[in-house]
Amino acid sequence: MVVAEKLEMEAGLRRPTIKDVASVAGVSVTTVSHALNDKGRVDDGTRQRIKDIAIELGYSANPRARALRTGGGRTIGLITGLEADQSPDRDSRFDWYMRTAFAGAAEALRLGYALVLMPPSDQQAWVRELTVDGVLVIDPEPEGELVPQLLGRNLPVVVIGGQIDLPGVATVALDRRSAVAEVLKHFARRGRRRPAIVIDDSRRQMTVGTAEAYRASCAEPLVEIADTAQGRSAGGAAAMMRLLEADPLLDAIYAPLDSIAVGCVSAIADSGRDVEVVTAEGLVAQAYGLCGVDTRREDQAAEAAKMLIDQIETGVSPRSRVLTAGLVER
């Protein structure tokens, strides 16, 4: 019977439907839907028989129809909590954003979902019309409106790279203390005795958290804030020049943002001083031969995608995770 139905559909070049599966199985369309989605009260034997028939017929759910039912269609969105960046440091931003996107997309695809990149601008407009099953948000502002708006749409949300104190929102983040510890241990091994940190002037959780961890780890912390109005590289260079002029013993810099690190390297080269720079691992660290902090960005993205999809399918918010940083020596 299954073979006959299959040949009939192949001859007519017709896509098999859920009704075809129900007809062959001798059950209702609802029972087929429940069996294929592992829902409802269907005994194990019947459920497996229906799945076998669906495979024989070559049936798979119509993604458009499923999207109409669920409002999503087995898709998750990825959005950065930051506004669109118009500075000249886009290459660096593109590197870390796409590393996050590729890792998240690979894990989502493995679990049967597609990942959609959402624009960082005009968020008010697209949040109201968004048709996905859930959203990954990168480093949102803790007091911002983006995550509450998504929750107001009853969309599951998992945050990457930050913390947010909202019920039902899980996070995957890097332990900033471990990152600072790796950097300071590296400087000590290299004989560097007077380190400083250069951060940008944003309120990003990565920036604030790293600066706090650095202050807590150093007896005499040197923290310089880069004015990024003209771009992060230019801001990093100006901040580095201020540090060099103020402290003749300065011999090491941790610049968590690699675009800031580029400016630091340039200013150090102009000064002729021997100052080592460590930044986040990525294209910039590789290009300049700098030691890089492994922020586990791909691991964060993959874990967050897995957690989000689990929440979508079970309705249960997962537990948050904190990953430990590493260091790539060069």
pLDDT in tens, 72-100: 579 999 998 655 444 445 555 667 788 99
Same structural domain, 284 and 206: yes
Q: Which of 74-83, 172-181, 273-282, 297-306 has the lowest mean pLDDT?
A: 74-83
Shared-domain flag, residues 152 and 199: no
Number of domains in the chain: 3
Q: Is residue 148, in this structure, part of any structural domain at all?
A: yes
**pLDDT above 90 (res 18):** no
| CATH code: domain of residue 144 | 3.40.50.2300
Tell whether 194 is covered by a domain.
yes
Q: At which of 30, 61, 92 does a domain end?
A: 61
Q: What is the pLDDT of residues 166-205, one digit of tens each?
A: 889 999 999 999 999 999 999 999 999 999 999 998 878 8
Percent of the chain with pLDDT over 70: 86
* CA–CA gap between residue 112 and residue 209 (Å, rounded): 35
CATH number reported for the structural domain that contains residue 28 in this entry: 1.10.260.40
34: pLDDT strictly greater than 90: no
Is 69 domain-assigned?
no
Classify residue 138: in a domain, yes or no: yes
pLDDT at 274 exceeding the cut of 50? yes
Q: Are residues 290 and 180 in the same domain?
A: yes
Quick one: pLDDT band at residue 12, thresholds 50, 70, 90? very low
In whole angstroms, give the CA distance from residue 104 to residue 121: 21
The answer to the question of residue 68 being in a domain is no
Per-residue pLDDT band at 228 (split at 50, 70, 90): confident
Considering the entire predicted model, what is its pTM? 0.74
If asked whether residues 166 and 229 sit together in one domain, one would say no
Q: Which of the four pLDDT bands, split at 50, 70 and 90, describes residue 119?
A: confident
For residues 191 and 271, state if they share a domain: yes
**Phi and psi dihedrals of 32, rounded to 5?**
-60, -45
pLDDT at 315 over 90: no
DSSP string, 44-94: HHHHHHHHHHHHHHT----HHHHHHHHSSSSEEEEEESSPPP-SS-HHHHH
Q: Look at residue 70 and tell me if it is in a domain.
A: no
pLDDT value at position 124? 66
Q: Please give the single-letter amino acid code of residue 34.
A: H
Helix (H, G, I), strand (E, B) or coil at 210: helix
Q: Which residue, chain included where needed, has tokens 């590296």?
A: 186
- Order of strands, sheet of 252-255, starting from the edge strand that comes earlier in the sequence: 223-226, 195-200, 252-255, 276-280, 291-294, 326-328
Do 184 and 290 belong together in one domain? Answer: yes
Q: Is residue 329 part of a domain?
A: no
The mean of the pLDDT values for the chain is 87
Domain that holds residue 311: 75-173+298-324
**40 and 91, same domain (yes or no):** no
Contact 246, 216 (CB under 8 A): no
Mean pLDDT across the stretch 221-239?
A: 92
Q: Is residue 141 part of a domain?
A: yes
Tell me, yes or no, whether 234 and 217 share the same domain: yes
Q: What are phi and psi of 22, to 5 degrees?
A: -65, -40
pLDDT tier for residue 107 given thresholds of 50, 70 and 90? very high
- 147 & 182 share domain: no
Residue 144 and residue 92 share a domain: yes
